[in-house]
Amino acid sequence: MSPVWHAAGTGARRGWTELRQTFTTGQDVFGYALWTVLLMVPLFLLRDDPLKGAGISTGAFMLPSMLGMTLAFTGMMTTAQLLATEREDGTLLRAKAVPNGMVGHLVGKIIMVSGTALASMALPFAVGLFLVDGVARQGGGALLTLLWAIPLGLLATLPIGAVIGSLVNSPRTVGLLMFPVMGLVAISGIYFPLSEMPEWLQTVGQIFPVYWLGLALRSALLPAAAVAAEVDASWRLLETAGVLGVWTVAGLLLAPSVLRRMARRESGAAMAERHRKAMQRIG
């Protein structure tokens, strides 16, 4: 076995270990539960509010949309937060010191974040099915859509998070990025159809993967008549695959070079300087 594959295998085992740990850590489990509650509150309030012309409630529209948002949000922001944190605390520097250590480290993070994203989707989905009617009754075709849309969504968003985590100076900067990300969510057709927004906002919203993930999950989980609420009254699955595919290719081309540059810049002196500045802020 080549050294790179050996490092990847080691990273995969580490990723599974970290994933098991997060599911048995009280603070992390509380975070999953809190996220579910935050998603379910608007769903509960709007569960009986009809969505004009779609034959479903606003709550039913929101459930798959929120699942798509969760997948994108976790893929981008969790990856960025982990990389920024581990860059600051020296974890990446230690990984760099081991032959092919960065390869194993990143493979482990991909497995850990992917598992976290799926868990963050599964719990709200299970609860949401009890709150709203007309969701997840579409048969085998829906399952096929989910089987390609969810992995493609992860491939489209994880590299974005890796790029963000490599470029920011600290985890606090990632926290500040939450504000523009929430603005992006607001124009991505998560809480109400994108077709009801001004055309220029529709154009902006369709540039990013959040909207397309929500659209793909709505196409899989909602009745056929619900397509009336979408842009052009179409699920546009080919366009969905195309846009997510473009983000995937762009991310996979850009992320490795950015990560390599970040790794080259890591040193004990750089970490000590970040620690000194952090202590100054505390003082």
What are the backbone angles phi and psi of residue 89, rounded to the nearest 5°?
-90, 0
Looking at per-residue confidence, does 81 or 99 come out higher? 81
Residue 185 above 90 pLDDT?
Answer: no
Helix (H) or strand (E) holding 20: helix 3-23
The confidence score (pLDDT) of residue 272 equals: 61
Q: Is 232 left (phi over 0), alpha (psi -120 to 50) or beta?
A: left
Residue 283 above 60 pLDDT?
Answer: no
Q: Which long-range contacts (CB under 8 A, 24 or more apart) does 199-202 make?
A: 202/231
Average pLDDT of the chain to the nearest whole number: 85
For 13, the domain range is 3-282
Domain total of the chain: 1
Residue 80 above 80 pLDDT?
Answer: yes
The confidence score (pLDDT) of residue 163 equals: 87
Choose from 174-188, 217-231, 269-283 the range with maximum mean pLDDT.
217-231
Share of the chain above pLDDT 90, in %: 30
Q: Is the dihedral of CA 241, 244, 249, 252 positive or negative?
A: negative
The confidence score (pLDDT) of residue 63 equals: 92
The confidence score (pLDDT) of residue 2 equals: 77
DSSP, collapsed to helix, strand or coil, labels residue 56 as strand
The confidence score (pLDDT) of residue 264 equals: 73
